Amino acid sequence: GAGVSQSPSNKVTEKGKDVELRCDPISGHTALYWYRQRLGQGLEFLIYFQGNSAPDKSGLPSDRFSAERTGESVSTLTIQRTQQEDSAVYLCASSSRALDIYNSPLHFGNGTRLTVT
């Protein structure tokens, strides 16, 4: 079946502009995550959605970052007033709600490469 889909794959924007990144999770996956990966570095957790529960926003770096998810489907990550330090690859991942939450691997999209000039 289809994997996690992210759009756009690349986005170049000017400093100060707002951007919106989209993620379509695997159908039936109730959990959805956003991560940020700066060049040559590891993955930094941003936000987690699980079904209709309140999202875990503990990783969002500032109030310029926000994310929404409609039910158990599409999610959008919005960055307002972009700064150069926001330049990174933004990865979305989804996982199923297994009986044992610990062993459900995350399935990642190919990411959106954001460049702020």
Partner 1 sequence: AQKITQTQPGMFVQEKEAVTLDCTYDTSDPSYGLFWYKQPSSGEMIFLIYQGSYDQQNATEGRYSLNFQKARKSANLVISASQLGDSAMYFCAMRGYDYKLSFGAGTTVTVRA
> Is residue 71 a contact point for partner 1 (CB under 8 A)?
no
Distance (Å, whole) CA 22 – CA 3: 14
Size of site (CB under 8 A) for partner 1 = 24
Dihedral sign (CA 70, 72, 74, 80): positive
Token digits for 53? 């529960």
> Is residue 110 a contact point for partner 1 (CB under 8 A)?
yes
> Is residue 1 a contact point for partner 1 (CB under 8 A)?
no
Distance (Å, whole) CA 49 – CA 45: 12
> Is residue 26 a contact point for partner 1 (CB under 8 A)?
no
Shortest Cβ 81–partner 1 spacing (Å): 26
Paired residues of 116 in beta bridges: 13
Binding site for partner 1 (CB under 8 A): 31, 33, 35, 41-43, 45, 48, 50, 56, 59, 89, 91, 93, 100-103, 105-108, 110-111
